Structure 1
Amino acid sequence: MNFPLYIAKRYLKTTSTSNAINIITKIAGVGIIVGAMALFIVLSVFSGLKDFSLSFSNNFDPDLKIIPSKGKSFVISESQLEKLKAIDGIKFYSKVIEEKALFVYKGKEQVAELKGIDSQYNNVNKVQKTIYQGQWLTNRTPQVVIGNGISQKLSLGLFDLNNNFEIFVPKPGKGTISNADDAFNKSILIPVGIYAINDELDSKYVFTDLQLAQELLQYNENQVSGIEISIDTLANENGITTQLNKIFDNHVTIKNRRQLNDSLHKMLNTENTAIYLIFTLVIIMTLFTLAGAIIMMILDKHSNLKTLYSVGTPVHQLKHIFLLQGILLTVVGGIVGIILGLILVLAQLKFKLIMITETMPYPIKIEWINFVIVFATIFVLGFIASYIASSRVTKNLLEN
C-alpha cells in the first residue's frame, strides 16, 4: 500500500487531540461542500437562463442566412436557386426582404423593420407559433403580422376597417425632393395577427408578403435582401456554407444562428465567466481554512512526524501525507457538494420550487460540462491549498 496515502486516510478519519483543529477541519469540509454545491447550482441556473434567452431569438433566426456582402440587396438567378436546392442537407429555404419603414395609425407613428416573406418562411422559422391573437398572414395580400410592442405603441387592433394602417418607405434615387408625397412609396396594410415573444423582438418586425415588400422598395422579382435556410440536424454546416459560397461566387456573407446573435452570445459568455470567477473567489477564500487546518494538523502531529523521520521516512513522503489529506478532503467534499447541488437542481426541475411568474418556473438546466467545471475547479484549488500547506513540513521542522 502507498504509505503516505495510508497515513493520510488515518489522519482524515481520526480526530485530533485539539478541539480547535477538529472544528477548523469540519469548517473547511463544510465550506468545500457548500462551495461546490453553490457553484454547480449557479452554473446550472445560468445554463437554463442562457437557453431561455436564446430561445427567443431562435424563433426568428434560421440555421443559416445568406446576406449581401455589400449594399442592402442582391439578385439571385434561377440557376443559383436550383443549385441551392440540390445541396444535400438543406431542408427548406425562404427568400426575405428586410428594410426600415415608417408605420402610421390614427396619427401615431412607429419606425420598425418591414420583413417581406415568401410561402416557405414558416418551414424555416417558428414565428407562426408565437401568434397569440389573430392568425398568420396570407401570401400575395396586404395582410401583415405585427409585434405586440408595436400594437401597444400604436394602440392598434386587428381587422380595423375604419382606420388605415399605413406604411411609408423612402423611394430609391438621388436628387432634390420637391414634394413630400413623391419621396415615399406607401401602402395600406391589414393587420391580421399579433405575435408576442419579448419586449425587444415585439417592437422590431412587421411581417408582410414578399411581393408587396418588393413593390414598396421597387425591387426586381429576383431581388432580395436575404435567404434564410433550414438544414438537417446531422448536416455538415461548414460543408453547406462552402457550397453556398461557390454558388454565389463569394459575393455574399453566410452566417449561422450563433453569428446572427454574436453580441448576445458574447454578453452571455461574459456574464457566465464573471459569475464563475466570483464564486471561484468565494471557494478560494474557503480553502484558506483548509490550508490553515492542514498547517495546524502538521503542528499537532509534530512528534509523530519526528518519529517517522527518525526511522527513515523521507521528508517528501511526509509532505505527501498532508498533501494527500487535503486532496482527499477536497475530493470528498467536492463530490458531496455536487451531489447535493444535483439534488436541488432536479427538485427545481420536477417540483418547480422557485417561480418567475405564476406559470413560469425559474429556468435551470443540467449540463455535463458543469460537473467537469465544478470538480476541476475544486480539485485544482484544493491541490494548490494543500500543496502550500504541506510545504511547511521541512527538514528543519523535523529536526527541532
Structure 2
Amino acid sequence: MKLALKVAGKYFLSKKRNLFINIISAITVIVIALATIAFIVLLSVFNGLEALMRSQYNILNPELKISPAKGKFFVYDEKIKQKIASVAGIKVVSEAIEDDAVFRYKDRQMVGKIKGVTNNFAELGGIAKQVRAGEFRLYEGDYARAVVGLGVFQMLTMNMADDVLEIWYPNRKQKISMTEKDIRKLALLPSGVFEVEYEHDGKYIIVPIEFTEELMQYQHNERSYLEIAVKDKKLIPTIQKELQKVLGSDFLVQNQEEQQYEILRAIRIEKLVTRIALSFVFLIACFNIFFLLSMIVIEKRKDIAVWQVLGAEKGFIQKIFIWQGLMIALTGGIIGLILGYLLCFLQEKYGFVKMNITSTIVDAYPVRMDWLDFVFTFFTIVVCTWIVAWFPAKNALKTDLRENL
C-alpha cells in the first residue's frame, strides 16, 4: 500500500506529457474547490439561520412552558400550584391568557393576538427587555396599559398616548349572530413598543391578565399556559422531567427547543435537502476525475505493462490510480475547505454580503461554522472520488502487454 501511494504521488506531482491532461487536471482541482466552497458556505448559512432563529425565539419563549394537553385553557387551582411549588429550582411562574382578537385604532383595524400576563412577567426577561419606545408598564395607576409589538404599531399607524386602542373579542356567553352585542370591546392606551422579529411583534400586544379576563370572560383562575424561569439553566432538563411527572399527562411541559420545534425542523429539513443536492452536484463534479484518470491510464500504459511484467498484483495497480484520484480531489477539497472557512469567517466578522431585505432582523446573511460540516464535506469528497476512480483504475488492468512493451 505504501509503494502504491508513493507511485501515485509521483504520478500526481510529475508533469504530464500531454498538455491537455495538465489542463483537465487543473480544471478538475478548481471545480472540486468551488464545489467544496459552496458546500461549506451554504451549510454555514443554514447554521447561522438556525442560530439566529433560536436566539430570537429564545427571547419570545420562556425557559419552560406549561400548557394543557387538550383545550385552550385550564384551571390554575391551588392543587396545581402546590405541585409546581414542590419542584425545586423554579425562579418565576408567570400566568398567561392568550387568544386572537381584533385591534382597532382610529379608522384602522387588524386581527392579532392579545396576551394577558401577570405582574411578574417582566422577571422572565425576554420581551420585557426588548422595548424600543416607551417602557414595559402594564398599569398606570389603576388603568391598564398595553405593550404593543412594533409591527402592530406600524400597521395601525399608532402614536404613543395619542388615542385609545380598542380590543374586540367575541362574546363567549352568547351565540354568534354577527350583531353588535356579540362583540365585547375594551380600550386602553399603549405604554411601550417592543421589537423582536416581525412574525411575532407584527401580531402581538401584551396587556394585564385582568384585562383579558374581563374581555374574554374568563374566570379568575382560568389560564392558557404558564411561563417559567429557572434559577439555573443547567437544571432545565431535570426540572422539566419533574414538572411533567407531578402534573401528569393532562399537561405539556415544553422547553425552548420544543416550543420552536416547527421552525427549527423546517430549517433542518432544508439543510438536509441542501446536503443531498450538493452531494449530487459534487458527484457530478467528480466525474472530471473519471475522465482525467481514464486519460492518465492511457498515458501510463507502458508503465502499467512494466508493473505487470515485474509481477505486480492487480490490486496494487488499481490502488495507484485510486490514490491518484484521491490526491487530485483532496487537493481541490482542501483548497475549497480553506477558502470556504475564510469566506465564512469574513462574512461572520464583517457581513459584506447583505440580505437587502428591509424587514429582516439582521442586515447581512448570518453564518455559523460547524466542524461537523467540514468533516461531512471531507468524507463526501473521499467517497465520491473513490466511486468514480474505481472504474478507470479497473480498466488499467486491461492493458495489453504485447502492444505496450
TM-score with structure 2 setting the length: 0.89
Residue 137 of structure 2: aligned partner: 137
For residues 270 and 312 of structure 1, what CA distance do their matches in structure 2 show?
A: 52
Residue 20 of structure 1: aligned partner: 20
SS at match of 1:155: coil
Is contact 1:40–1:338 with CA below 8 Å preserved after alignment?
yes
Instruction: Report how far residue 145 of structure 1 moved.
Output: 0.9
Q: Deviations over 1:190-242 (max 9, x none)?
A: 111112233322222110011222222222332210012234332252x4333
Residue 259 of structure 1: aligned partner: 258
C-alpha spacing 1:179/1:50, structure 2 compared with 1 (3 Å): closer
Equivalent residue pairs, number: 396
SS at match of 2:395: coil
Deviates most, 3-12 or 58-67:
58-67
Deviates most, 342-351 or 316-325:
342-351
For residues 35 and 86 of structure 1, what CA distance do their matches in structure 2 show?
A: 56
For residues 263-302 of structure 1, the aligned pairs below 5 Å read: 263-302=262-301
Deviates most, 33-42 or 298-307:
33-42
Residue 329 of structure 1: aligned partner: 328
Mapped pair 1:370 → 2:373: yes
Residue 51 of structure 2: aligned partner: 51
Is contact 1:61–1:125 with CA below 8 Å preserved after alignment?
no
Q: Deviations over 1:8-55 (max 9, x none)?
A: 111111112111111111211122222112211221122222322343
Mapped pair 1:150 → 2:152: yes
Residue 235 of structure 1: aligned partner: 235
Q: Deviations over 1:153-197 (max 9, x none)?
A: 32221112xx4322222232355769633x333322111111223
Unaligned runs of 5+ in 1: none
For residues 307 and 118 of structure 1, what CA distance do their matches in structure 2 show?
A: 87
Is contact 2:138–2:191 with CA below 8 Å preserved after alignment?
no
Is contact 1:117–1:209 with CA below 8 Å preserved after alignment?
yes
Is contact 2:138–2:147 with CA below 8 Å preserved after alignment?
no
Mapped pair 1:210 → 2:209: yes
For residues 178 and 393 of structure 1, what CA distance do their matches in structure 2 show?
A: 83
For residues 342 and 176 of structure 2, what CA distance do their matches in structure 1 show?
A: 70
For residues 293-312 of structure 1, the aligned pairs below 5 Å read: 293-312=292-311
C-alpha spacing 1:179/1:384, structure 2 compared with 1 (3 Å): closer
Indicate the RMSD between aligned Cα atoms, in angstroms: 2.5
SS at match of 1:93: strand
Instruction: Report how far residue 73 of structure 1 moved.
Output: 0.6
TM-score with structure 1 setting the length: 0.90
Q: Deviations over 1:78-135 (max 9, x none)?
A: 3432432443454433211101122222243222111011223233351123221111
Mapped pair 1:108 → 2:108: yes
For residues 270 and 261 of structure 1, what CA distance do their matches in structure 2 show?
A: 14
SS at match of 1:50: helix
SS at match of 1:120: helix
For residues 146 and 398 of structure 1, what CA distance do their matches in structure 2 show?
A: 85
SS at match of 1:288: helix
For residues 316-355 of structure 1, the aligned pairs below 5 Å read: 316-355=315-354
Residue 99 of structure 1 aligns to which amino acid in structure 2? D
Percent pairwise identity: 27
Instruction: Report how far residue 74 of structure 1 moved.
Output: 0.5
Instruction: Report how far residue 339 of structure 1 moved.
Output: 1.1
